[in-house]
Amino acid sequence: MGRASAAGKARLEETDLVFRGEGDLKFKVPLKDLRRVDARAGALYLEWAEGRAVLDLGDQAARWAEKIRSPPSLLDKLGVKRGQRVSVVGIEDREFLDQLSARVDDLTRGRARAGSDLVLVAMSDRADLPRLLKLREAIKAGGAIWVVWPKGSKEFREDDVRAYGPTAGLVDVKVARFSDTLSALKMMIPRAQR
């Protein structure tokens, strides 16, 4: 970075690229602020308003460059594919629902339809968790339930959903950023019970 160099660890997060090197060399840059992203000969070249950096990533440089240039959409992160049966319960985000409607032909809103590949459900209180028992019955054996809740809530957290999962016969398999204000946790029936 500039004239300085150091060995360290780089992480490509959902919204930021973070580098923590030896000594004082470290930076965190929001992916949206990157003006230039290039991969050449195993190095990732980055440029943003406050600086420039080159990360020696070897075989990963091209993959990181592509992920930065073309981040997966929310529907991709949630695993929504054409031909799936999807149910949405309690999520009223108009833009999200429009994107979902454009991708799948079999969409049910307001309730979980039997035989769903995916159920997306909004929750905001621990008292909502018993709903997972009924939602589990609505998904196919290899299906999933995405529980969506407000970020930063002390009354309802990811750990609450994760802890309740076994009671409903579900295990957590993935966390995703749903929006600036919402997080999501993917729950599935354990493989041994499918």
pLDDT at 107: 97
Task: Report the distance separating Cα 184 and Cα 194, nearest Å.
Answer: 23
Chain CA centroid to CA 185, Å: 8
104 touches 80 (CB < 8 A): yes
89 touches 111 (CB < 8 A): yes
Domain ranges of the chain: 8-69, 74-193
Q: Which tens digit of pLDDT belongs to each residue from 100-132?
A: 999 999 999 999 999 999 999 999 999 999 999
Q: Within 10 A of 194 (CB to CB), how many other CB atoms are there?
A: 10
pTM: 0.78
129 φ/ψ angles, rounded to the nearest 5 degrees: -60, -35
Task: Report the distance separating Cα 142 and Cα 44, nearest Å.
Answer: 38
36 φ/ψ angles, rounded to the nearest 5 degrees: -140, 135
Give the up-direction half-sphere exposure of residue 93: CA atoms within 13 A in the CB hemisphere.
17
Q: Which tens digit of pLDDT belongs to each residue from 26-83?
A: 999 999 999 999 999 999 999 999 889 999 999 999 999 999 999 889 999 999 999 9
Question: How does residue 133 score in pLDDT terms, banded at 50, 70 and 90?
Answer: very high
Q: Within 10 A of 55 (CB to CB), how many other CB atoms are there?
A: 20
pLDDT at 24: 85
Does the structural domain 74-193 have CATH classification 3.40.50.150? Answer: yes
68 touches 17 (CB < 8 A): yes
* Residues paired with residue 34 on neighbouring β-strands, in sequence order: 48
162 touches 132 (CB < 8 A): no
Ranges assigned E (strand) in the chain: 8-12, 16-21, 26-30, 34-40, 43-48, 51-56, 85-89, 106-109, 116-122, 139-150, 171-177, 182-188
For the record, the structure tokens of 20 come out as 């923590």
pLDDT tops 90 at residue 180: no
Tell me the CATH number for domain 8-69.
Answer: 2.40.50
pLDDT tops 80 at residue 194: no
